[in-house]
Amino acid sequence: MTKELIEATINGEPVEFLCEPRQSLLEVLRDVLNLTGTKEGCLTGDCGACSVILDGRVVCSCLVLGVEVAGGAIETVEGLAEGTHLTELQQTFLEDAALQCGICTPGFLIAAKALLDSNPDPSETEVRYALAGNLCRCTGYDKIVRAVMDAAALMRQRQSSSSSAKQGREA
Amino acid sequence: MHEFSYYAPRSLSEAIGLLATHGAKARPLCGGTDLIIQMRAGALRPTSIIDVKQIRELRRISFDGTTGLYLGAAVPCVEVYENAAVLGRYPGLADAARLIGSVQIRHRASLGGNLVNGSPAADSVPALIALGATALVAGPEDERTVPVEGFVVAPGRTVLRSGELLVGLQVPPPPPAKSSSAYLRFTPRNEMDIAVVGVGVALVMDGERCLKAQIALGAVGPTQIIAQEAAAYLTGRRLDQAALDHAGWLASRAATPIDDARGTAEFRRHIVSVLTRRALLAAADRARVN
Amino acid sequence: MATNTIDSSSGYRVIGTRPIRPDGVDKVTGRAKYGADYALPGMLHGKVLRSPHAHARIKAIRFERALKLPGVKAVVTGKDLPEGENKSVPLGEMSVNPRYLGHNILARDKALYQGHAVAAVAAVGLHIAEQALELIEIEYELLPPVMTVDEAMANSAPILDPELRNEEQGDEPTNIAKHTQLKRGETEAGFKSAQTVVEREFRTAMVHQGYIEPHNALATYGSDGRATIYCSTQGPFEVRGMSAAVLGVPVGSIKVVPAEIGGGFGGKTTVYLEPLALLLAMKTGRPVKMVMTRAEVLRASGPTSGSHIKVKMGCARDGKITAACVWLAYEAGAFPGSPVAAAAMTVLAPYAIPNVLIDAYDVVVNRPKTAAYRAPGATNAAFAAETVIDELAERCGIDPLEMRILNGAREGTPHPAGPPYRRIGFIETCEAIKNSPHYRSELNGANRGRGVASGFWFNAGMQSAAMVNIHADGTASVVTGSPDIGGSRASCAMIAAEVLGLEAEEVRPVVTDTDAIGHTDVTGGSRVTFATGMAVFQAAEDAMRQLKERAAKLWECKPEEVEFRAGKFFAKGNPDAPITIKELAKRLPRTGGPVSGRATVNARGVGPAFATTCIDVEVDLDTGKVEILRCTVAQDAGRAIHPAYVEGQMQGGTAQGIGWALNEEYVYDAQGRMLNAGLLDYRMPTCPDLPMIETIIVEVPNPGHPLGVRGVGEVSIVPPPAAVANAIYRAVGVRLTELPMSPPRVLKAILTHSGQPSATAWS
């Protein structure tokens, strides 16, 4: 078993780890780096519980080899909040009761973040299709979709108030 | 999973060299969304994995009016369906790339991988065949081109010889003016599913009359099937309801489906005619506004 | 949008509000620890070798080569387990047959389904354990697989267990483990007085709970003979009892620590990996962790039964149902124990029918042993009965909701298998749908239809224990042994907060291990908010009684003179100012020490649950694909402690019911091999497959519970398959009698109905 030394950035921090080529990024995160917030649900890319953002794109970490991420930047659920300050998405998931057992929640938060990063004002249909790779068996998706749309609204509000504040300063 | 070595060559020649050295025990890795699953299941046991995502030729996507679209084999689906040239000139290819897997899968999976995987249900293959795409293959000795319709020879088997690598796909430029393409598939779920039937069509129109049609079927035979008779029938015809129905019927006759966990042969044959009709209509609508 | 018909005069302060769930922050930050997230120093990884055959005799197992692989520490087979008694022994809620349970954990002489565990390995790494499995050689003698109840019940059927007998067939070997019959009145006479009789036959496919978290277990074993199992389970006490039974060790030697659980829906009420991990830990002296793959979950955990059902029902001219006969045969899987008896008791439970005859058969087949799945048994049966009622209503020209209201069970109606109902809310759920914006709206458009159906579930009581500890600052913790699969921690905290005059956020709920709390039965049967909630209520009242005693000490008065109102303790005629619980908490050390309320219950007074669901569909005539356009569910919660999580249960159950209706099924080949053991081909609904699910919480308080709670976890899964079938009928005029109503099946029905016998007839 030859292990390779891989350098990458995880949640903004430079990280080095040793891994065998056959270890997936998911395995590296959970078993090597002890970042167990990213979940294993199927190992075939069908449930989305292991979703992470790799170089700006949401992917299933079960279908990425650890050795493939050399030099890459990875964002996981552990990196969403700044200290104890939750993001709008995390907050609306709590307020809208968008989680029950919670095993799919990290994947949904990551997939939803990826969506809102590129589309700040998605329609319900857009939200549903963007989350199609994430299975939830507890909620029937209703409250999840509402939470994502509510978070989007909050984020737009924050952006417009910060840009109008900026404009105010400039004026 | 079994043990293997991992290589990430930066040039085509390096990759070809590695493939030549490791022979049949080597396997190129693009998005990994099929390969890693198959390795985990023990269905494939390559001892060398050659990650080809860092090779420029395999990551390039470009269009020019004379040669058409060049699509590196490792370009992920998202870069295909977000590409302006693809959206504008090859909408059928964008349809297919947008339907594969989920957002997560489309950020990794490539059309090259979709082709090399050799699945009869691969979404992008009927779309590529309908558009007349060819595969560019590089080997230790030489390079060659293979029409996409001849690339897959049996489920999971392709024309690639040991040591050869699929470098890219070349799609000819669409005929000027009134032409278009579409790909439709049938799945029980709305997303995250495998095609029970897939139909790719490309049309050249003159007003309401069809000058030329190409129709390729997926998931209804051991490999993708060209519905030759249906396409020939449409040539020179107005695409009215009767013509569409008859083309659908001819296409369903070309299908050689089987019963499996994803659908019965009888059902698939019926769906071929339905989707052929619908895909022709979609392509014709697009051609009208082109 | 969700509506809530709560009785606003209830006067509760916390109950009925929507605080943020106490486990929420951990779950949105990735900190929540599920079973697979545990790791211990020196831990080994275990994997299971499973039979590739559905029915085979195991002639020999050779594992020497596996043991020689560097890093492999142990291999175990069925020979390493003691033979359990072949009789039913009580274990909390359920009874367990130790022989069957043990044989399911590791096969002995026969493999009875594809995926049946045959051997297990522990090694220093996961990938090494996987490699070791490939080095184990097993010699099988193939036997013909028996895959359906029809095959299994046939006279010449191959026999799965040569020792299996049932009471009716004497000493004849059989695959029918049990026949149950329920009878009331005279059905023949009842049918004679009917004006309209409908008789239909149904089949439903085996389906899986589909929890996203695979089964997991981490076991340790010490030289003192003490074991600890960390796992994601609905029933830590059941894991303890079953593991002890399978391994032949004392119950008290095992401690089970329930981890956070990633969905269960009934499927995590039994054991698979837990005894194996412990067996391997006992062999190696090291911690052993095991996690199933998704294919293992589908092939070798406990889905729910496929079934064959016949229903005959008749009604008078006015729509009154005069008689009903139901015949039910359910797949038990490889060992006896399908939920068919529950099916028999639920199938007609929403209705007052004078003449009833129900026959129920529990049948073994070469499929995984079934486990509980949300209202076990009820959904299959309701699919049959509720479509027949729809057809009767149509023939009589009665609105399908009016038909249900006309025949619906009320207070005093005898349950088909038991005493008369106390106050129930079935009619109210029908009325709620009838008055809903959804049902009152017009449904326009081609090939669209609206269907309704109702469902019943018993709900359960059983044993629970709770402690309520008052902290030094006047906040509290509530400790229970009920793993939280749907929000029960929130409801327990809210119940305690209500009693103690605290905010929900001031009560921290804890789910503890089997050594730290009294025996608590499984999280199942929609029982936690009802029964554990009852224990929490009583424990909080116990704490309150103690607090009053302390206040009485301070004020030198009698405890019964102390009152607690609006968050403050008063005493009549006491000149001192009233004090809050926070002030009192500071004085506990000087008035006798800590206050800890306790209660244990074997809860009685269970209140049944009813739901009525309305679904609009659009059918693609060319493909048979069914789109769910709109969906509303009304359910009697008794009392909604946390309405958002009541809605969550209603929405989740409805979504599972829709998946069961449309596309979920176990597909097997002729050799009994499952062809769709993955989440791509086992098609559970994805986000774009569902609309918003509108909810109407009906609150008809359960007279048997101090807060009126009934339990809300299960019944919403029951109506959707029938509601979808009834909607399809109204959309395109065909009655579907098989689940799932997948596109090929719907298309075939449409083509047959329209006179095109098959899709290929014209090709």
Domains of chain C: 414-458+607-763 (3.30.365.10), 462-603 (3.30.365.10)
Across the interface, of C130, C622, C763, the residue whose CB is closest to B274 is: C622
Measured between its terminal Cα atoms, the distance across chain A in Å is 64
Q: B190 and B167, same structural domain?
A: no
8 Å CB contact between B100 and B94: no
Round the average pLDDT of chain A to a whole number and report it: 96
Q: Which CATH class is domain A4-79?
A: alpha beta
Which domain range does residue B166 map to?
61-171
Res C732 pLDDT > 80? yes
Residue C611, SS3 per DSSP: strand
Q: Is the minimum CB–CB distance between C278 and chain A shorter than 8 Å?
A: no
Contact A100 C487 (CB under 8 A): yes
Res C758 pLDDT > 80? no
Q: B203 and B162, same structural domain?
A: no
- Which of the pair, C116 or C756, is modelled with greater confidence? C116
Omega into C740 within 30° of 0, i.e. cis?
A: yes
The shortest C-alpha distance from A38 to chain C (Å) reads 7
| pLDDT value of position B110 | 98
Work out the pLDDT band at C5, boundaries 50, 70, 90. very low
- Which of the pair, C135 or C5, is modelled with greater confidence? C135
| pLDDT value of position C486 | 86
Contact A63 B78 (CB under 8 A): no
pTM over 0.90: yes
Res C9 pLDDT > 80? no
Q: B248 and B221, same structural domain?
A: yes
C192-196: average pLDDT: 97
Residue (of C352, C589, C336, C335) closest to C471 by Cα position? C589
Contact C652 A140 (CB under 8 A): yes
Res C416 pLDDT > 90? no
Res C7 pLDDT > 60? no
| pLDDT value of position C2 | 43
Q: Where in the sequence numbering do the catalytic residues of C fall?
A: 714
Across the interface, of C33, C263, C291, the residue whose CB is closest to A137 is: C263
Rounded Cα distance, B192 and A136, in Å: 13
Chain B residues whose CB is inside 8 A of the C763 CB are 249, 252-253, 269, 273
Contact A132 B105 (CB under 8 A): no
Residue (of C200, C241, C156, C188) closest to C326 by Cα position? C200
Per-residue model confidence as pLDDT tens digits over C129-175? 999 999 999 999 999 999 999 999 999 999 999 999 998 989 999 99
Any idea how long chain A is?
Answer: 171
Res C11 pLDDT > 70? yes
Q: Is the minimum CB–CB distance between A5 and chain C shorter than 8 Å?
A: no
Q: Is the minimum CB–CB distance between A20 and chain B shorter than 8 Å?
A: yes
| pLDDT value of position C337 | 95
What is the phi-psi region of residue C281: left when phi exceeds 0, alpha when psi lies from -120 to 50, beta otherwise?
Answer: alpha
H or E element in which residue C190 lies: helix C187-192
Opening angle at CA A16, ends A11 and A18, nearest 5: 125
Opening angle at CA C423, ends C418 and C427, nearest 5: 95
CATH number at residue B200: 3.30.390.50
8 Å CB contact between C483 and C523: yes
- DSSP letter string over chain B? ----EEE--SSHHHHHHHHHHHGGGEEEESS-TTHHHHHHTTS---SEEEE-TT-HHHH-EEEETTTEEEEETT-BHHHHHT-HHHHHH-HHHHHHHHHSS-HHHHTT-BHHHHHHTT-TT-SHHHHHHHTT-EEEEE-SS-EEEEEGGGTEEETTEESPPTT-EEEEEEEPPPPSSSEEEEEEEE-SSSSS---SEEEEEEEEEETTEEEEEEEEEESSSSS-EE-HHHHHHHTT-B--HHHHHHHHHHHHHH-----BTTB-HHHHHHHHHHHHHHHHHHHHHHHHH-
Q: Is the minimum CB–CB distance between C410 and chain A shorter than 8 Å?
A: no
| pLDDT value of position C355 | 97
What is the percentage of chain C residues whose pLDDT exceeds 70? 97
For testing contact with chain B, the best of A51, A52, A68 (most B CBs within 10 A) = A68
Q: Is the minimum CB–CB distance between A111 and chain B shorter than 8 Å?
A: yes
Contact C667 B261 (CB under 8 A): yes
- Which of the pair, C313 or A1, is modelled with greater confidence? C313
8 Å CB contact between A54 and A28: no
Rounded Cα distance, A148 and A132, in Å: 14
Core vs surface per residue C306-325: b (16+ CB within 10 A) or e: bbbbebbbbbeeebbbbbbb
| pLDDT value of position B66 | 95
Across the interface, of B1, B2, B263, the residue whose CB is closest to C744 is: B263
Least confident of A156-170, C185-199, C380-394, C565-579: A156-170
| pLDDT value of position C93 | 55
Work out the pLDDT band at C757, boundaries 50, 70, 90. low
- Boundary of a domain, candidates B171, B200, B224: B171
CATH 3.90.1200.10 is right for the domain spanning A88-163: no
Q: B161 and B68, same structural domain?
A: yes
| pLDDT value of position C4 | 40
| pLDDT value of position C1 | 39
Strand order in the sheet with C56-62: C110-111, C56-62, C137-142
Across the interface, of B3, B194, B264, the residue whose CB is closest to C680 is: B194
Contact C486 A101 (CB under 8 A): yes
CB-side neighbour CA atoms (13 Å) of C499: 31
ipTM score of complex: 0.97
C413-433: average pLDDT: 94
Per-residue model confidence as pLDDT tens digits over B162-198? 999 999 999 999 987 789 999 999 999 999 999 999 9
The shortest C-alpha distance from A161 to chain C (Å) reads 26
A157-170: average pLDDT: 78
Contact B105 A45 (CB under 8 A): yes
Residue B56 maps to a domain: no
Across the interface, of A24, A51, A70, the residue whose CB is closest to B104 is: A51
For testing contact with chain A, the best of C29, C216, C656, C658 (most A CBs within 10 A) = C29
Core vs surface per residue C157-196: b (16+ CB within 10 A) or e: beebbeebebeeeeeeebbbbbbbebebeebeebbeebeb
Contact B3 C127 (CB under 8 A): yes
- Helices C378-396 and C400-407 pack at an angle, to 10 degrees, of 110
Beta-carbon pairs below 8 A across chains A and B: 85
CB-side neighbour CA atoms (13 Å) of B73: 28
Per-residue model confidence as pLDDT tens digits over C438-496? 999 999 999 999 999 999 999 999 999 999 999 999 999 999 999 999 899 999 999 99
The shortest C-alpha distance from A116 to chain C (Å) reads 17
Across the interface, of B188, B253, B269, the residue whose CB is closest to C663 is: B188
Q: B151 and B190, same structural domain?
A: no
Rounded Cα distance, C21 and C492, in Å: 11
Rounded Cα distance, B132 and B118, in Å: 18
What residues contact A167, with CB distance under 8 A and at least 6 apart?
A: none
Residue C90, SS3 per DSSP: strand
The shortest C-alpha distance from A128 to chain B (Å) reads 10
Rounded Cα distance, C516 and C236, in Å: 12
DSSP alpha helix (H) spans, A19-60: 25-27
Per-residue model confidence as pLDDT tens digits over A33-81? 999 999 999 999 999 999 999 999 999 999 999 999 999 999 999 999 9
Rounded Cα distance, B153 and B118, in Å: 8
Q: B136 and B105, same structural domain?
A: yes
Rounded Cα distance, C332 and C369, in Å: 6
| pLDDT value of position A169 | 63
8 Å CB contact between C653 and C374: yes
Per-residue model confidence as pLDDT tens digits over C489-535? 999 999 999 999 999 999 999 999 999 999 999 999 999 999 999 99
Rounded Cα distance, C345 and C353, in Å: 13
- Which of the pair, C762 or A41, is modelled with greater confidence? A41
Number of domains in chain B: 3
Residues of chain A numbered 82-101 and touching chain C (CB < 8 Å) = 86, 90, 93-97, 99-101
| pLDDT value of position C759 | 44
Res C95 pLDDT > 90? no
CATH number at residue B98: 3.30.465.10
Round the average pLDDT of chain C to a whole number and report it: 95
Per-residue model confidence as pLDDT tens digits over A16-35? 999 999 999 999 999 999 99
Rg of chain A's alpha carbons, rounded to an integer?
A: 17
Residue (of A84, A82, A83, A104) closest to A93 by Cα position? A104
Measured between its terminal Cα atoms, the distance across chain C in Å is 48
Domain locations along chain A? 4-79, 88-163
Strand partners, B202: B181, B214
Q: B100 and B17, same structural domain?
A: no
Q: Is the minimum CB–CB distance between C293 and chain A shorter than 8 Å?
A: yes
8 Å CB contact between C306 and C374: no
8 Å CB contact between B170 and B134: yes
Contact A65 B190 (CB under 8 A): no
Core vs surface per residue A55-74: b (16+ CB within 10 A) or e: eebbbbbbbbbbbbbeebeb
Q: Is the minimum CB–CB distance between A126 and chain C shorter than 8 Å?
A: no
| pLDDT value of position C574 | 76
Rounded to 10 degrees, the C-alpha dihedral B55/B56/B58/B61 comes to 160
Residue of A nearest to B193 (CA): A46
Q: How far is CA C171 from CA C97, C157, C365, in A?
A: 20, 16, 20
Res C379 pLDDT > 70? yes
CATH number at residue B18: 3.30.43.10
